[in-house]
């Protein structure tokens, strides 16, 4: 992992003053999740007097949060939750928006603003859809304006989903917590009332078995560690050539290793056999293994194009078929349904010079999860993608210095994310509290300024 010396300097006392005086990017030390630490430090202000906000307030109170409707003009605020679920014309936005604006100067570092609203695409009334789309626009803009490691995100509910539904509360909690440190300017969609809030928030995956591909290093290793920390038993998959590193991570998390090239025709069956033999169950599949073979399209050859498509998307399609056709993964009687989380990339959303093969494969992942969602939901399961932006790994350490430095700063948090940031989002999407969220792609990119 390449060192980010600029952020190290900018977070010192002198560095803070100098970067401010010179108008340079001011990356802050992000508040990340630590088991045992409070969910958030300080008052959470709930704005909007809809009936629904009372129901949501009950969840916040049950988590031991200091929930307020108002704060004094000098009081510091850790988070603002703004309810827009009942807006029906753009004029309805103003009161709540201005109340949020009035609190921004009182926000602590690494604060959170979360907007709660209904999915614009589900309204056929022009004024209502305009109002709902307005919430998207203001949330994204606010994310750009947040300072000192703060983020702004939204929870977007389908028609008929209760504001206090388990997955709505689960999404809100994720966005308030340090688990979402590198998620900003994004929306979590809640499409159904499915889901269960865990009795132990520190072990939401207790008793479940997960498989992670590409787990020998980088983001995959972080995902294996995080799923293990959250209570899951983990099967770690990687190519035989990465055997030594794979064994190390496997020992660390007390899991089991499976040396396997995921492009093999029988990769899905091999995973099922392993899960049956060691655990007798399989609940969570994380498709993380991925490769890059960058070249401008004018210089692209068949080997580069085909290998990236084969590893990054074709293998996932083939494995999913085998897994979903199996009793072990697909029909877990009396348990939570099958959960799949797949790694996409912001390159798959915005495109990237020299990455036509990679972007095609990652855009393919986004399409695949959207199209597979109905099948998973029919089995009370979910499938989602996570699209990382610039993450500090061996993959990005190989970038030329200047390109890497630019890529790091080009997001609202002015720094690269860590593999753990991606892992936290994967773990959240695999958890029972996210069972109402399916078919979506959630970006972990610090609100990358390039692209969508």
Residues at the contact surface with ligand NAD, assessed by CB under 6 A: 213-214, 216-220, 237-239, 242, 261-263, 288-291, 311, 343, 345, 388, 390-391, 393-396
Q: In 3D, which of 369, 394, 391, 393 has the Cα closest to residue 382?
A: 369
358 in catalytic set: yes
Provide, rounded to whole angstroms, the least separation between the CB of residue 311 and ligand NAD: 5
Burial class (CB in 10 A: 0-12, 13-18, 19+), 51: exposed
Identify which of residues 20 and 264 has a Cβ nearer to ligand NAD in the complex: 264
Provide, rounded to whole angstroms, the least separation between the CB of residue 33 and ligand NAD: 20
| Catalytic site residue from 33, 279, 358, 428 | 358
Identify which of residues 18 and 397 has a Cβ nearer to ligand NAD in the complex: 397
| Tokens coding 410 | 């080009």
Give the C-alpha separation, 353 to 152, whole Å. 29
Classify residue 336 by its DSSP letter.
P
Other CB atoms within 10 A of residue 349 CB: 21
Give the C-alpha separation, 183 to 185, whole Å. 7
Give the C-alpha separation, 136 to 121, whole Å. 12
Identify which of residues 78 and 311 has a Cβ nearer to ligand NAD in the complex: 311
Identify which of residues 28 and 349 has a Cβ nearer to ligand NAD in the complex: 349
Identify which of residues 148 and 247 has a Cβ nearer to ligand NAD in the complex: 247
Provide, rounded to whole angstroms, the least separation between the CB of residue 179 and ligand NAD: 18
Provide, rounded to whole angstroms, the least separation between the CB of residue 211 and ligand NAD: 11
Residues 230, 253: contact at Cβ < 8 Å? no
Give the C-alpha separation, 411 to 325, whole Å. 41
Provide, rounded to whole angstroms, the least separation between the CB of residue 111 and ligand NAD: 26
Give the C-alpha separation, 297 to 312, whole Å. 18
| Tokens coding 272 | 């099922």
Active site residues: 358
């Amino acid at each position: 992992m390449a060192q980010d010396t600029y952020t190290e300097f900018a977070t010192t006392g002198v560095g803070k003053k100098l970067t401010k005086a010179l108008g340079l990017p001011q990356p802050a030390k992000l508040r990340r999740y630590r088991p045992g630490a409070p969910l958030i430090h300080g008052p959470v202000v709930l704005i909007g007097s809809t009936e629904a906000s009372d129901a949501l307030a009950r969840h916040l109170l049950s988590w031991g949060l200091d929930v307020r409707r108002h704060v004094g003009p000098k009081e510091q605020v850790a988070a603002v939750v703004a309810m827009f679920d009942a807006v029906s014309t753009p004029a309805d936005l103003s009161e709540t928006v201005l109340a949020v604006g009035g609190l921004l100067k009182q926000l602590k570092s690494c604060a959170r603003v979360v907007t709660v609203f209904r999915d614009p695409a589900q309204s056929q009334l022009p004024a209502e859809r305009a109002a709902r789309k307005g919430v998207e626009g203001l949330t994204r803009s606010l994310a750009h304006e947040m300072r000192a490691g703060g983020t702004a995100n939204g929870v977007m509910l389908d028609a008929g989903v209760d504001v206090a539904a388990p997955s709505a509360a689960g999404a809100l909690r994720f966005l308030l917590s340090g688990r979402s440190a590198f998620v900003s300017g994004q929306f979590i969609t809640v499409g159904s009332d499915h889901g269960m809030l865990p009795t132990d928030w520190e072990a939401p995956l207790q008793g479940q078995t997960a498989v992670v591909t590409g787990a020998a290093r980088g983001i995959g290793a972080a995902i294996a560690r995080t799923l293990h920390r959250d209570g899951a038993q983990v099967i770690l998959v990687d190519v035989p050539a990465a055997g030594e590193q794979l064994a190390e991570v496997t020992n660390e998390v007390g899991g089991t290793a499976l040396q396997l090239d995921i492009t093999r025709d029988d990769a899905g069956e091999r995973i099922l056999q392993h899960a049956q033999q060691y655990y007798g169950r399989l609940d969570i599949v994380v498709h993380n293994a991925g490769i890059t073979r960058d070249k401008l399209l004018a210089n692209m050859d068949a080997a580069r194009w085909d290998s990236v498509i084969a590893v990054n998307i074709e293998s996932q399609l083939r494995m999913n078929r085998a897994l979903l056709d199996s009793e072990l993964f697909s029909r877990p009687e009396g348990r939570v349904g099958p959960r799949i989380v797949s790694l996409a990339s912001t390159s798959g959303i915005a495109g990237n010079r020299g990455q036509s093969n990679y972007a095609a494969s990652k855009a393919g992942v986004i399409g695949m999860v959207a199209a597979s969602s109905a099948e998973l939901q029919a089995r009370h399961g979910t499938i989602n993608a996570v699209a990382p932006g610039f993450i500090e790994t061996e993959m990005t350490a190989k970038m030329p210095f200047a390109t890497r430095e630019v890529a790091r700063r080009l997001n609202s948090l002015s720094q690269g994310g860590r593999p753990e940031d991606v892992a936290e989002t994967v773990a959240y999407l695999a958890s029972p509290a996210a069972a109402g969220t399916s078919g979506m792609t959630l970006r972990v990119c610090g609100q990358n300024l390039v692209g969508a």
